Amino acid sequence: MSIDFYSQAVPSITALSPYRPGKPAGELQREMGLSDIISLASNENPLGPSPRALAAASAALMRVERYPDGAGFELKAALSSAYNVGPERITLGNGSNELLNLVARVFVRPGDEVIYSQYAFIAYPIATRACQAHPVEVPAKMYGHDLTAMAGAVTERTRLIYLANPNNPTGTAFSDSALRAFLDAVPAHVVVVLDEAYTEYVDVDAGLPNGLALIDEYDNLVVTRTFSKAFGLAGLRVGFAVSNPQISDLMNRIREPFNINVAAQAAAAAVLTDSDYLQQVLDTNRRGMVQVSEGLRRLAVEFLTSQGNFVTLDLKRDAQPIFDSLLRQGVIVRPLQPYNMPHHLRVTIGLEQENARFLAALERALMC
Ligand SMILES: *Cc1c(COP(=O)(O)O)cnc(C)c1O
């Protein structure tokens, strides 16, 4: 090539490392000729989709010659009644990841500061750099968000703050009172994105916040949720944000006109009514978390206590050989080098037999 297009690109984008998704099972199959692979790499729902969501998506496929409803009327109505928020406060996203980017594009100018925590979800630094903004990464406290330090990091150039509760990949969470104190300390014009991708898994008695309950109180709060985890629709790509109506109006101005396809809109609206499915998902996760935690204790492997559907192991040494050994045994987990956590591996809680297989494979990997 006679022109180096990397040198032509926006420097903050050339400097980005691309988001590295979990290794697809098909890729491992091709590389190693393995047939029996389990994927515990991307915090997906091990139960498969809700039958009600599948039926709705199939019916919607009969209408794919038409554009989707660009306003997402039915899905917003379903969300509005499920969560008791007005549809004018809802923005739909092609996964919540799209919303994390949209909010930055609305508010962040080149050179502005965006704050997030060390070890927080990697989409935040990517969204920040894509806007040519200055990332302000605040050191974590016991792997979790240090909300006091984060509030203290606000300057006159701060536009946006990302919080994840519970956080991926650490599984840490902060309390309702800590969040309120943080929101009270942050200037009212600084937008705070509260990413609640794992909120469904959180024990209701644990004293953790429900961001949607704070929306009326804090005009600068944007809560993002997803259908990719507990609702089992990762492959269809649907998320939503709840905010004050001005912010949702602004985000709606720049989103792609038809960003949620017809099958995804129908499936998401349907799964919201499938409380049996959600209950089964949460029961499976609770039992699996006990099974994996007990197994790790038996193997004397340390791990971070997690409020989500995954757990992060602290192997106290380079995790890559363990990761590779697990791969050779057909078990895909997530290495955490992109988070500067080279001694850690993240594993999604799976079905009982998947968890057992992971633990057995880990035991073998640790012996080498
Ligand atoms: C998985 C995840 C998301 C959701 O991503 P989608 O784009 O909705 O699939 C968002 N935030 C965090 C912290 C996650 O782990």
State how far the Cα of 42 lies from the Cα of 168, in Å rounded to an integer. Answer: 10
- The tokens for 345 are 């591996």
Residue 18 burial (CB count, 10 A): 7
Ligand 1 atom with the smallest distance to the CA of 43 is: 1
Of 200, 222, 201, the C-alpha closest to 212 is 222
pLDDT at 203: 84
State in Å: Cα 160 to ligand 1 middle: 18
- Tell me which residue has its CA closest to atom 10 in ligand 1: 197
Ligand 1 atom with the smallest distance to the CA of 227 is: 8
Give, in degrees to the nearest 5, the angle at Cα 70 between 67 and 71: 150
Of 147, 123, 115, the C-alpha closest to 239 is 123
Asked if residue 323 lies in contact with residue 335, where contact means CB atoms within 8 angstroms, the answer is yes
Of 192, 258, 255, 267, the C-alpha closest to 228 is 267
Residues of the chain with CATH 3.40.640.10: 63-271
Residues of the chain with CATH 3.90.1150.10: 5-48+276-366
pLDDT at 23: 87
pLDDT at 176: 95
State in Å: Cα 168 to ligand 1 middle: 8
Q: Given ligand 1 and candidates 96, 238, 311, which is best to mutate, with the most ligand atoms within 8 Å of its CB?
A: 96
The domain made up of 63-271 has a fold known as: Aspartate Aminotransferase; domain 2 (3.40.640)
State in Å: Cα 19 to ligand 1 middle: 12
Q: Does the CB atom of residue 165 touch ligand 1 within 6 A?
A: no
pTM: 0.96
State in Å: Cα 33 to ligand 1 middle: 30
State how far the Cα of 324 lies from the Cα of 317, in Å rounded to an integer. Answer: 14
Report how far apart, in Å, the C-alpha atoms of 261 and of each of 58, 68, 264, 364 are.
Answer: 12, 6, 5, 44
State in Å: Cα 287 to ligand 1 middle: 23
Place of tokens 């199959």: 29
State in Å: Cα 2 to ligand 1 middle: 39
Pairing mode of beta strands 302-304, 310-314: antiparallel
Report how far apart, in Å, the C-alpha atoms of 196 and of each of 132, 193, 223, 227, 251 are.
Answer: 25, 9, 7, 11, 18
pLDDT at 148: 98
Q: Given ligand 1 and candidates 92, 97, 100, 237, which is best to mutate, with the most ligand atoms within 8 Å of its CB?
A: 97
> What is the tally of helices (H) and strands (E) in the chain?
14, 13
State in Å: Cα 1 to ligand 1 middle: 37
- Residue by residue, pLDDT tens for the chain (368 residues) are 899 989 999 888 888 888 888 889 888 888 888 889 999 999 999 999 999 999 999 999 999 999 999 999 999 999 999 999 999 999 999 999 999 999 999 999 999 999 999 999 999 999 999 999 999 999 999 999 999 999 999 999 999 999 999 999 999 999 999 999 999 999 999 999 999 999 999 987 888 999 999 999 999 999 999 999 999 999 999 999 999 999 999 999 999 999 999 999 999 999 999 999 999 999 999 999 999 999 999 999 999 999 999 999 999 999 999 999 999 999 999 999 999 999 999 999 999 999 999 999 999 999 97
Q: Does the CB atom of residue 239 touch ligand 1 within 6 A?
A: yes
pLDDT at 211: 97
State in Å: Cα 120 to ligand 1 middle: 12
Architecture of domain 5-48+276-366: Alpha-Beta Complex (3.90)
In 3-state terms, the chain is what percent helix, strand and coil (to 5)?
A: 45, 15, 40
Ligand 1 atom with the smallest distance to the CA of 97 is: 7
State how far the Cα of 211 lies from the Cα of 180, in Å rounded to an integer. Answer: 10
Q: Does the CB atom of residue 228 touch ligand 1 within 6 A?
A: yes
State how far the Cα of 119 lies from the Cα of 172, in Å rounded to an integer. Answer: 10
Q: State the DSSP code for 343.
A: T
Q: Does the CB atom of residue 196 touch ligand 1 within 6 A?
A: no
Q: What is the end-to-end Cα distance of the chain in Å, rounded?
A: 45
State how far the Cα of 60 lies from the Cα of 262, in Å rounded to an integer. Answer: 6
Q: Does the CB atom of residue 170 touch ligand 1 within 6 A?
A: no
pLDDT at 209: 94
Asked if residue 146 lies in contact with residue 140, where contact means CB atoms within 8 angstroms, the answer is yes
DSSP 194-239: EE-TTGGGS-GGG----GGGGTTT-TTEEEEEESSSTT--GGG--E
Q: State the DSSP code for 144.
A: B
